[in-house]
């Protein structure tokens, strides 16, 4: 089961940069495909209002190891008693991979030095998910203040090869680059790992 869920997420994230978004000279948003074709973007409305949560999010006192990105200014406080991590090997776009020790919960940081608007990161994430799982959809979105930094929180779910998956993540961008910091597992396991997911994501900081 662990291998299946990990493979599902790798398939989704490996598509991260297969499709690129662009703006035409008339202001229309289009999707550029790797085969040279394009289409108008229609599945995601970037103009919709996204609320800012009134809650303030901070790192757990048990997350004491700071893992720094080498691609931009983001970093991640990790509870190494619960989480193992390594440089990503299964996905060329990711920088680090994480796993809850003894659990069916994984994480990944996808960081780069290019500045991409946060809403565009979310749009690309949904586009890539739909390419692998056509029923993929965003089920929750809000802006959050996490350790003094404004990020976009997003939950996305779908079905791939009969498996219901869900991934929850923070999306951030500044002049040093862009980052997707994500936890993922089977949809039925989200409540079981809720506290671990919250503590993991709230370790996100900007140096």
Stretch among 4-8, 84-88, 90-94, 168-172 having the lowest mean pLDDT: 4-8
Kindly report the CATH number that applies to the domain delimited by 2-206: 3.40.1000.10
Domain residue limits, the chain = 2-206
The tens digit of pLDDT for each residue in 38-74 reads 555 654 444 468 999 999 999 999 999 999 999 999 9
Name the more confident of 90 and 94. Answer: 94
Number of other residues whose CB lies within 10 A of the CB of residue 54: 8
pLDDT band at 31 (very low <50, low <70, confident <90, very high): low
Mean pLDDT rounded to a whole number for the chain: 85
Lowest mean pLDDT among 28-37, 80-89, 123-132: 28-37
The mean per-residue pLDDT over the stretch 138-159 comes to 96
What is the value of pTM for the model shown?
0.81
Distance (Å, whole) CA 146 – CA 151 = 7
And the tokens for 4?
């299946």
Tokens in use for 201? 């994501």
State residue 1's pLDDT score.
46
Q: What is the mean pLDDT of residues 105-128?
A: 90
The residues pairing with 152 across neighbouring beta strands, listed in sequence order, are 143, 171
Task: Find tokens 């597992």 and name the residue.
Answer: 185
């Amino acid at each position: 089961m662990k291998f299946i869920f990990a493979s599902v997420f790798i398939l989704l994230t490996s598509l991260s940069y297969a499709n690129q978004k662009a703006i035409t000279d008339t202001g229309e948003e289009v999707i550029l495909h790797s085969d040279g074709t394009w289409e108008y973007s229609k599945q995601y409305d970037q103009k919709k209002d996204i609320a800012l949560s009134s809650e303030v999010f901070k790192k757990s006192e048990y997350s004491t190891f700071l893992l720094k990105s080498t691609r931009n200014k983001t970093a991640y406080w990790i509870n190494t008693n619960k989480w193992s991590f390594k440089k990503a090997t299964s996905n060329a776009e990711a920088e680090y991979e994480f796993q809850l020790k003894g659990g069916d919960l994984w994480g990944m940081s996808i960081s780069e030095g290019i500045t991409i608007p946060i809403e565009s990161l979310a749009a690309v994430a949904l586009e890539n998910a739909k390419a692998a799982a056509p029923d993929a959809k965003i089920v929750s979105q809000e802006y959050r203040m996490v350790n003094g930094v404004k990020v976009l929180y997003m939950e996305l779910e779908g079905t791939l090869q009969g498996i219901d998956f869900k991934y929850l993540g923070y999306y951030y961008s500044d002049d040093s680059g862009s980052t997707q910091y994500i936890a993922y597992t089977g949809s039925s396991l989200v409540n079981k790992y809720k506290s671990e997911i919250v503590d993991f994501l709230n370790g996100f900081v900007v140096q």
